[in-house]
Structure 1
Amino acid sequence: MKRFLPDTIFARLFLLVLMAIMISHAMTFVLLLAFFGERQNRPPDGRRPPSVAAPGQPAPPPRARPFARQPDMIIAGYAVRTPPPGFWISVASQLFALTLAALFGARMLARPIQRLGHAAAELGTDLNRPPIAETGTAEARQAARVFNQMQQRIRQSVEERGRFLAAVSHDLRTPLTRMKLRVERLQDDAARDKLREDIAEMAAMLNATLNYLRDEASAEPWQMMNVTALLESMVEDAVDAGEDVAVSGHAQPLLTRPVALRRCLSNLLQNALRYGHSAKIDIVDTDALLQIEIRDAGPGIPEEQMQAVFEPFVRLENSRNRSTGGVGLGLAIAREAATQCGGTLTLENAPGGGLLARLALKRGR
């Protein structure tokens, strides 16, 4: 049943009203039988028993019968004459009209909740989406009003955090710059080199953290993008840098957020080259879904830590360490960028070895 009519508020309301209509018509038909049918008490041969008069009295006149002719059918012991065609036309027209009214009524009652559900789903990827129209019943208007207020507060909170990040970025970069200048004045070469490494690491962590927090508040507009050209240009740049990278497949233009998609693919490719030393990119395009798979030749990730690596500042001891330059934000930024594009990012260990990162992007919004 769910294959043809999903379990929604609209479906439940429609089925409830339709059931009430069918029951009312069935009861009407039963009442017609009770009041307009003739109870059958005939002998086995089907003839009526003759009327017998008392001795010395005239025979009584024949009793009036509700049917002037033989009944058309026997239902539950009642002799029923088939109603005229107009009766069935009337019943069918009433049933059709009531079913149509139930259909539109259920849709009208369910539409505000459906609209609220769609808006909540879009809010996770677009804080600047238009507010919900405050129309409909009093309850629907109140729910839309509360949702719009919640969206406005979230947007204000994100904007305030952006201003805070800008201030923190400025305040932290200033002392780092002074530290760099003072380090150059040191006479001890070994101490100077160590301090340079510490300052560079602090700057890298600061940049990665600020970029991650800024990406969460991104409000990039949706545009059509040639994903194949983007991947081919990234592969060409990597090959020019001496990396082992290859791409196969082709994709039709996709409606997405170009900057977020580029950031996601760039982090995945860098992650594969850093820890797997090679990358093979496969593009699988269908009418409903675009999948981009990036496979490396590294040791992979233990199954129990497959989800943990998506958390900020989480690194694996064997392969993710400070000497490689990572701060544990690459996969977290990639997953956040994939969400902004309306897609999903998953990891799995490839059967022949290595890690397989799969980015799935839905076509259309």
Structure 2
Amino acid sequence: MRRVDSLFARLFGVFLVAILLAHALAFAWFSHYGRPPPPPAPLQAELMRPPPPPGPVLRGPLIVLGFQLLTLIVAAWYGARLLSRPIQQLSEAAERISDNLDSPPLAESGLPEARQAAQAFNLMQRRIREQVQQRARMLAAVSHDLRTPLARLKLRLEQIPNTQLRTRMDQDLQEMIGMLDATLRYLHEQRSSETPQWLDLQALIESMVEDAQDHGADVRCQGHCAPLRAQPLALRSCVSNLLENALRYAGHACIELNDSPEVVEMRVVDRGPGIAAGQREAVFEAFFRVEGSRNRNSGGVGLGLTIAREAARHQGGDILLEETPGGGLTAILRLPRL
């Protein structure tokens, strides 16, 4: 009984009815127009008979073939619609959970195949949500369990009489704490999801530039852009990482805004050492650092650009790196207008 109420059975039934109907129409036409002609009348009677009226422009075969074509087109349209509807629903549901993992589950209705696919999809969504929640609990545990011994180590450093050794160990400890904070922030950025809302990107950037200038940073902003729909916290994190990256390695930055009906573009331009062309994609990998940055004064953990690109891609955008004319690095953030 379940096989009768299946997608294959319905499609087969639709096309079977269409074929039978088309052949029935053809059979009816041949039964009506396919009779043998009457015997010839005598010559005198033939001469006295008035001429037959002119036949229709569309003969019987054309009408039947037209009905057949129309029937097959309607059947094909209905069959394709019936087949594509569950796939379209799955595609829309997958797009929803890519933006928000807590989106409503897919309705488990329709044909058996569609119900089975919806059940499997909802099960996958629940398992992913459980894994994300488990990872969040692990992050909280790691954050607490690691900070406690690090704090004890920091207190015990004060008891070391050798000043030079104490200074070096304190630098190592601060680097470990920085790596821990950056790693936790990176994992938090991966699991966080925001609802897009209208955001004045220009006002956000100008505020960040003013804050950096108050701390003595050489940074300026130019250009204009209209508000756009975006994830505020993710976008702020993205811009902040790009700006901090430029100030860390170049000591200065210039933010340029370019607006268009389809895309908003932000350029963070610096005149620092730059990055070789072969490493401009590798620097977006987690914990990757170019050789020139592996020092305590300027070298970061290697997660800033990773966090920035993932935040941009979560909003449908991307970040690219290119050489600044005359030397330096330009980070380009492109965001679509949703």
TM-score by length of 1: 0.74
Structure 1 segment 23-34 matched on structure 2, within 5 A: none
User: Structure 1 residue 181 and structure 2 residue 155: aligned?
Assistant: yes
CA–CA distance in structure 1, aligned partners of residues 139 and 43 of structure 2: 111
Q: Is the 1:125–1:342 contact (alpha carbons within 8 Å) kept by the matching residues of 2? A: no
Q: 1:290 to 1:320 in 2, by over 3 A?
A: farther
- Calculate percent identity across the aligned residue pairs: 49
Which of 164, 175, 180 is the matching residue for 1:206?
A: 180
Do the aligned residues in 2 keep the contact of 1:314 with 1:329 (CA within 8 Å)?
A: yes
Pairing partner for 2:105 from 115, 120, 131: 131
Task: Please give the alpha-carbon distance, in whole angstroms, between the structure 2 residues aligned to 1:98 and 1:233.
Answer: 63
Q: Offset at 1:214?
A: 1.5
| Residues 1:261 and 2:230 are matched in the alignment | no
**Equivalent residue number for residue 6 of structure 1:** none
Residue 82 of structure 1 corresponds to 57
Q: CA RMSD for the aligned pairs? A: 3.7
**Residue 98 (structure 1) shift:** 6.6
CA radius of gyration, larger in: 1
Q: Distance in 2 between matches of 1:334 and 1:103?
A: 45
Equivalent residue for 1:142, pick from 116, 140, 146: 116
Write the distance in 1 (CA, Å) between the matches of 2:224 and 2:35. Answer: 74
Q: Which residue of 1 aligns with 2:260?
A: 286
Name the counterpart of 1:316. 290
State the secondary structure of the residue aligned to 1:312. Answer: coil
* Residues 68/299 of structure 1: CA separation in 2 closer, same or farther (3 Å cut): farther
| Greater share of residues in helix | 2
Q: When the two structures are superposed, what TM-score results if normalisation uses the length of structure 2?
A: 0.79
Match of 1:339 in 2: 313
Contact 1:268 1:294 in 2 (8 A): yes
Name which of 196, 212, 227 aligns with 1:222.
Answer: 196
- What CA distance in whole angstroms lies between the structure 2 residues aligned with 1:35 and 1:352? 86
Opposite residue 189 of structure 2, the aligned amino acid is D
> 5 Å matches for 1:155-194?
155-194=129-168
The list of structure 1 runs, each at least 4 consecutive aligned residues, that deviate by more than 6 angstroms after superposition, is 36-39, 58-61, 90-98
SS at structure 2 position matched to 1:224: strand
- Code of the aligned partner of 2:264: L
Unaligned 5+ segments in structure 2 are 1-10
Does the Cα contact within 8 Å between 1:315 and 1:321 map onto a contact in 2?
no
1:137–1:322 distance in 2 versus 1, CA, 3 Å: farther
Distance 2:221 2:71 in 1: 60
- Does residue 1:305 correspond to 2:279, yes or no? yes
Letter in 1 for 2:177: A
Distance 1:346 1:133, change over 3 A: farther
8 Å contact 2:271–2:328 — kept in the other structure? yes
**Structure 1 CA distance, aligned partners of 2:126 and 2:329?**
41
Local SS of the residue matching 2:293: coil
| Aligned-residue offset at 1:143 | 1.2
The verdict on how the C-alpha distance between 1:129 and 1:361 changes in structure 2, with shifts beyond 3 A counting, is farther
- Alpha-carbon shift at residue 105 of structure 1 (Å): 4.6
Measured against aligned partners, the alpha-carbon deviations of 1:10-68 in whole angstroms (never above 9, x if no partner) come to xxx9xxx9xx99xx79x96xx87x957999xxxxxxxxxxx9xxxxxx969649x9x95
Matches within 5 A, 1:237-256: 237-256=211-230
**Partners of 2:207 and 2:67 in 1: CA distance:** 65
Give yes or no for contact 1:338–1:345 (8 Å, CA) kept in 2.
Answer: yes
Is the aligned partner of 1:327 residue 2:301? yes
- Tell me, yes or no, if the aligned pair for 1:288 and 1:362 is still in contact at 8 Å: yes
